[in-house]
Structure 1
Amino acid sequence: MTFDTGVTNERLGRIVEEAASEVYIFSADDFRFRLVNKGARENLGYSDSEISELTPWDLKPEFSKDEFLSLIRPLLSGETERLYFETVHRRKNGTEYNVAVQLQLFEEDGDCVFYAAIQDITDQRLLEKETRELARRLDAILDNTTMSVFVMDERQQCIFMNRAAEKLTGYALHETTGRPLHDVIHHTYPDGRPFPISECAIDRAFPQNAGTQGEEVFVHKDGSFYPVAFTASPIRNDEAQVVGTIIEVREISEEKRNEEARKLLMHEVDHRARNILSIVQSLTRLTAADDLETYKEVLAGRINALARAQTSLADRRWEGGRLEDVVRQELEALCTKDSIEVRGPEVALSPEQVQPISMLLHELATNANKYGAWSRVDGRVSVTWTLAERQVILQWRETGGPKVVAPTREGFGSLLKSSVVRQIKGTITRTWEPAGLVVEVAFPL
C-alpha cells in the first residue's frame, strides 16, 4: 500500500492545526518558530507573523536563552529522546498560564527541528493549590483542636493521629505503625486482664459498618489508665465500601472526678441537712425565754448562726474553713468592727468543726450584747488564739463592760456552749474577772 505524501502531509497539518493541545515546531538552528497551531496562537494572542519572530524563551519568563539551551542539551546530545517538564507561558497581554511540555527532536529535510506538545495545566495547578491550602487548613484545625482524632485503615492500623492524640496517648504516629491501634492503647482492662480486640466497641465500627460511641479506658504509653469518651465512625469510599474508621476521643478524667465529687457533695449535703434539721429541732424545743418575742429573737439568732456556718462551708465546697473567717463572721454579725479585736495564726478547720465553733461564738457574742462588754458604748471584745502541736487555744476576753459576777445557775446557753465544745473534742473554762468575762477553749485539729 502506498500513500500520497502531499495529501498525507496536508491532513497531518490540519490535524495539528485543530489539535486541542498547543503544538509548536521550531528550528534547532535559530530557534525561530516554524509552526504554531491555532490553539496556541489564540491562547497566546499572537498572529502568525508576530509569533514567527519569537523564540521559546520569549514565551517562557522562567528561562533565559542560556537556561533554555541548558535544558534541551540532553536532546541535542542524544542522551534522551524526549523531555518532559512544566513551566509558565506568557501571553502577549502579559498574563501567564501553567503548561506541561513534551519536547522531541526530529530531522526534517536535512534540518533538525523541535516538536513541542504543550498542555495547559493552569486549572489543574489551581486545583492542586486549593487542595494544598485546604489540607493545610485542615491540618491546622486538627493540630489545634483539643479533641484527639485517629484515622485507621481497613486493617485497623492507625494512619493518622493529630497532635492532641499523640499527647493523649504518649505515642507518636510512627510508633503505632504495623499493628492495630487497639493493641497499642487499648489492650488491657484496668484490672490487668487482656482486652481482646473482638470485645472492643471502638473497632466494631469497621466490621459492622456502623457508628458507635461510649466510654472506654485507654492505656497510656507510661502504663497508666485513663477514661475516655469516644465516637467511632466508618470511612467509606466512592462505592460506599468501608475502608477505615475515624475516631474522636476526649479524656474524661476530670469529668469523672467532678461526678464523684458531686455525688459525695450531694451525700454530704443530705447528711448535713438532716443534721441541721435535727439541731434546729433541738434549738426550737430547748430555747427558753420569758415571752414569745424574746423566744423568737433568741431562736432566730441561733438559726442565723447555723446559716452563716453553712454558708461558710458551702463557699469552700464543704472542705472546711479558716478560723479567722468563722470568728469575724459571727462577731461582725452582732457588733461593729471597731469594738472587735481578732488575732491569731492561720488555722484550717475541718467541716465538722466550723458549725460548733460558729454556734459557740454566737452564744458568747449574744451574751456580750445583752449583759457583757457590748452592752456598754466603750465595751470591747478580743478573740485571740494560739496553735501548738496541732492544739488550738482560743481565748475570748471582754473589757469595758459592766461588772460581772458568776451566774448562780446554768441556762440553755451555757449548756449549748458545753455541748458544742464536746463536739470538737475540746474543753472550756470561764473566768469572771473584774474587767470582764474570759473564756478559754482548747481543741485539737
Structure 2
Amino acid sequence: MDTASVRATHSAMSIDVAIKTLAATADLVGEDIFPALVEGISKSLGVRWVFLSRPSDNDKTKAETLAVWSDGPAENIVYDLAGSPCADIIGDGPCCYTDDVQSLFPQDALLREMGAQSYVGIPLRSSTGEVIGLLAGVNDRPIGNPDLSREILALFAGRAASELERISTSSSHERMGRIVEASVSEAFVFDGDTCRFELVNRGARENLGYCLTELQKLTPWDIKPEFSEEQFRDFVAPLKAGEVPFLEFETIHERKDGSHYDVFVRLQYFGGADNIFFASIFDITERKMAEERERLLMREVNHRAKNLLSIIQVVARQTAAAGLDDFADRFEDRIAALAKSHDLLVENPKEGVSLRDLVCAQLGHFSQLFGSRVKIDGPIVRLKSAAAQSIGMALHELSTNAAKYGSLSNDDGSVEIEWQIKHVGNLETFKLTWQEMNGPEVVPPTKTGFGSTLIASSLRASLRGAVEIDYARAGLHVTVTAPYASLTEMRHDEKPKVGCKRRDLNRRYAD
C-alpha cells in the first residue's frame, strides 16, 4: 500500500473514532461530557495532551480548564494566556503548529514543562459568534497531517461549544432566578399569549397569599381588579407590538383573602421564542398611606385655621365669665396652653410623647375645668410621633366640637377622657374613650363632615385600629381601639426614664 493510501486509511480511521466518540456522548449533558470529549480527541488525533478550556471569569489574562487528558484523565488547571498559542486561538481562530512549538512561544512555561513539540487548537464559539472557550491538542512529536487535525477538532468543537454555552446560560439563569426569588419586590413571568403566570417569586407569593401552583392557574387580571381581560390585553398591546420598550403604571393587587394593596408595575415583553412578559412590582402601600396622611394633614391645617378663631372666642368668653379682674393674664395663659398642644405634635422626644401631656395640651384652653367638668384618667403611655400626631388631631377636633356645639358649650356639661390597656391572649390592646354628658341634645349629622373624617381616617391610618363614633342624644361617645404596639415602642408596664408626674401637669395647666 502506498503512502497516500496509508494516509487516507489513517484519516478515515481517525475520523471514524471521532464520530463514534461523539455518538457515544449523545446522552451526556453538563460537565460530564467534557472528559469524554478530550479522551476522544486524544485517541482521534493520536496526541498525548488535550485541553478543553475557557477564559477565567476572575482574570481574563488566564484560562481555566474544564477537562484535561494527559495520557489519561488529569486534574484541571489554571494557566496564563499571555505568550501562549491559546491566546492566538482566542484572538485569531484555529491554528496548527506542526513542529518546534516551544521556539515559537518561548514565554509559555507550560509548553516547556510538558516537553511539547506540536500544537493544534480551535476556538469554541457561542450561537452569537462569541469565543467562550477553546480546544487544544498538544503532542511531544510533530503533527503529520494538520488539515486532518483541524478537521477532527472541528467535529468536537460544535458539541463542546453548544454544551458550554448551555451550561453558562443555565448557570446565569439559575443565579438570576435565585436573586429574583429572594428579592423583596415582586416578580412575575407570564405567557405572551395565554397570560397565565409561569413563575412568581417568593415575595409576590407571600404578599398575595397564594402558592405557585395556585398562581399558575391565574392571570394578571385575576389579581388586578381594576382590569378586565379585554382591558388588560388592550393595555399591553403596544408593548407586545414593539411600539414601546416597557410600561410603568400604578394599580392595585388583590390578595387571596380579598384584601387590596397598592403597587407600582414595570412591565416588559420578550418576543420571539421566549414570548413572555416580565413584571417587576413594588408594594407602595406605605407610600400611598404617607401621601394620604400628607393630604389629610394639609386639609387639617386649613381646618384648624378656620377653627382657631372659634376656639379663641370660647376661651375669651369663658375667661371673661369668671370676671374681668386679671382677664389679660388668664387669657394669655390659656392661649399659651393652646400653643403647647401644637408643640407636642411636632416634638419627638426620645421617650415618646406622654398621652396625658397630649390630652392636657389639646384641652389646655379648658384647664380651669380639669378635675371638675373635664376628667382625665389612664395609665402612663408614651406615644410614637405618628400616633401622637393622629391622636392629637382627633382630640383637638373633639374638644373644638365640644366647645362649639357639645357638652362644653354650656355651663353644666362635662367630658370624660379615659384610656386603658387590656390583654387579649398574647396581645396588648389600647382603648381610649371620649364621653360627653349634660350638654345640648346631640343631633346626628346628615352628612359626614371633615371633622369626623379627620378623626376616623387619621387614627385608622396611623394606629391600624378601629374608631366608633356614637351620636347618642345624651352626649357624643367616641371609642378608639388599636394594638398597643402601634402606639408605642414601650411595654405598658415599662416605666419611662423621664416624664412629668400628675401633680406637675395639674400645676402646669392650673389657672
TM interval, shorter chain, is 0.3 to 0.5
Q: So what's the TM-score if we normalise by structure 1?
A: 0.45
